[in-house]
Amino acid sequence: MRSNALKWIFVLLVLCQAGNSYSGEIANCRSPQGYGYFHHSKLTSKGDAGWENDSVSNGLTTLQRLDNGNYDILLVDVRKKIISLRQDGGEVFLLRRGAEDATFLHIHPGMAIEMYTFWIDAEGHHKYDLIQSKGGDGMPVHKSAVLIGDCDKIHFELIK
């Protein structure tokens, strides 16, 4: 029940988001899980570096198409804060599209490179994966990760 309420709050906030014209919600996804590799760097000791289970519990990810034809990815993170990747200084690009899958690249110069793939599996489940590399001077903790989560219906017809 709580996750449904959080989901509806997120959808309402997405619709009210200032700064970008909203054209269509393509995918609404949640709670990715997987593995992250934390780099031995300034803030990560050698003992804390390495592979670790990684997840964004109760995290929401929404892919949307804007009126101007661009794409944006909105996140609700563990702090329950909404983040627009475009408004945060990043760019979102469509890399490829198939009948039942599409991959988007998010680049935040000097901080993050991420690929989001949205797809329908052979059993008809709607999914997404996130492959990320975070580092550079703007990121206190450097890591690489692969996470997979579930989605509500993915509207591939909105991807052009």
List the domain boundaries for the chain.
2-158
Contact between 86 and 72 (Cβ < 8 Å): yes
Give the model confidence (pLDDT) of 27-60 as tens digits.
999 999 999 999 998 889 999 999 999 998 888 9
Closest listed residue to residue 128, CA positions, set 106, 113, 146: 146
The pTM assigned to this predicted structure is 0.84
Within 2-157, residue ranges assigned H as helices are 2-16
Architecture in CATH for domain 2-158: Beta Barrel (2.40)
Number of residues that this document lists for the chain: 160
CA distances from 132 to 75, 79, 105, 114, 152 (A): 14, 20, 10, 4, 22
Give the model confidence (pLDDT) of 68-115 as tens digits.
999 999 999 767 889 999 999 999 999 999 999 999 999 999 999 999
